[in-house]
Structure 1
Amino acid sequence: MYIMFIVIAILLVFADGFTVHGPPDPLVAPLGSSVVLLCYVDEPLPVKDLEVEWKRTDSETLVHLFVDGESRAEVQQQDYHDRAHFFTDQIQHGNFSLRLDNLRAEDEGKYTCKVYSEQDSGETVVQLKDVERLLVSGSSRSISAYDGEDVTLNCTVDSHIKPEHIEEVSWKRADVDIPVLLYQNNETFPDSSDEQYTDRVEFFTDEIPKGNFSLRLKSVRTEDKGVYMCEVFAGVLSANATVVLQLGESTKHGK
């Protein structure tokens, strides 16, 4: 009888315990997007006396807290106000995941989800590995050239994404909406150019691995004057930059 009592007691202890689960791999998400940090248990826990605490593992910064049956947004660290949210209707089902909106580069890092019930506690760590950014830069000032000169229209990509994984770079005249040159799936397509630019535009091929998608425009003509856009696509990310080309005074002749 005594042995049976011990066995029953042990079974009850294991029944009261729980395991907190997170995602199997680090998370990757685009800058400015939303991401869900997974945290859940296999069986629902009583909401009474339940506490769920999300913190930055590296700094102990409080990201969000659920206690006494409600989310406590007022105790969040300021950087997470209106950005970190529980799925409150899912908590009763054992889902304590957190949605983090408007991702910033500084959100990269590890997050700990700690779950406390009346009988037990557990935790899991979620790593937000790369907040992918896609920043495209052109020229801050207008570019000037004389008729017949060659000119470079700048376009550089700052990103966690390797240049060979950039799906498309499209140069076009933004003011008249005509294609200038297309780079797609690691290949340049000269036939994509409007006839005005046929055999007169090219990338600096050796510079592409460095994220440099600048365009060389040869033998500038009067009709080339205008606004040029370099648009970059990588998965769900896209960004662009513009360059204004003016005819007349050039830096080369103006010295």
Structure 2
Amino acid sequence: MASLGQIIFYTMIILIVIFAAFIILILALAFSGVGGRVQSTNTSPIGNLSDDVLLSCYLNTNHQRAVNDISVTWKKANLAGLVYKYENGAPDLTDQNSQFKGRTLLFLDKLMTGNASLLLKGVRNSDRGEYTCSISCSEGAGKVNIYLRTAGASPPATERCENGKISQMHA
């Protein structure tokens, strides 16, 4: 028959093994790659003035998720208010900065695959700067910074031949 000391000793050993297995299981789940990573295909896009520009942002994951399970926030550095916000299955533009009203579009049908890219319409000089795309969902969370540069578009040059002379014309 085992003494009380031996019973306590073996019970403690069993509890230590169970807790160690539990901790290993938790760590394995945490680092199993279930989560995603927020990325951009172009962190320094150039937008021509008056044109539209796409600010790329997506959650790199292999899993599908419900649209209402994802939250996307676009912010611009040194600017009060938001550029765009999607939460609880719908756009939430109550805190949108007036500079972006009617000029931003998120592709809602692409959110299921983690694509949270923002289309900025009619680029202005004041749009230049650093934007942050933040994505949060059950698959993971993260953010990426994108620096938008602006440029003036030059009109196309055409050539005209008259009396054997070639001259350039601008539209």
TM-score normalised to the size of structure 2? 0.73
Unmatched 5+ residue regions in structure 1?
A: 137-166, 173-177, 181-189, 194-228, 232-239, 241-255
In the TM superposition, 1:153-172 aligns within 5 A as 168=157
**1:57 and 2:77 are equivalent in the alignment:** yes
Task: Provide closer, same or farther for how the CA distance between residues 11 and 24 of structure 1 changes in structure 2, counting only shifts above 3 A.
Answer: farther
**What value does the CA root-mean-square deviation take over the aligned residues?**
2.9
Match of 1:21 in 2: 39
The Cα of 1:50 is off from its aligned counterpart by 2.6
Shift of 1:3: 3.0
Q: Secondary structure at the match of 2:28?
A: helix
Question: Which whole-Å deviations, capped at 9, do the CAs of 1:166-211 have from their partners, x for residues lacking one?
Answer: x7465x7xxxxx859xxxxxxxxx8315xxxxxxxxxxxxxxxxxx
More strand by share: 1
Matching of residue 132 in structure 1 with residue 106 in structure 2: no
Structure with the largest fraction of helix: 2
Q: CA deviation at 1:16?
A: 4.7
Distance 1:58 1:71 in 2: 23
Distance between the aligned counterparts of 2:37 and 2:116, measured in 1?
13
Distance verdict in 2 for CA 1:120–1:93, change over 3 Å: closer
Q: CA deviation at 1:4?
A: 3.0
The equivalent of 2:50 in structure 1 is: 32
State how far apart, in whole Å, the 2-side matches of 1:7 and 1:91 are: 34
For 1:8 and 1:47, how far apart are their aligned partners in 2? 30
Could you tell me whether the CA contact under 8 Å between 1:23 and 1:126 is conserved in 2? no
RCO higher in 1 or 2 (8 Å CA, sep ≥ 6)? 2
- Residue from 164, 181, 192 that aligns with 2:166: 192
Q: Residue 101 of structure 2 aligns with which residue?
A: 81
SS at match of 2:46: strand
Structure 2 spans left out of the alignment, 5+ residues? 1-17
Equivalent residues, number: 151
- Offset of residue 23 of structure 1: 2.8
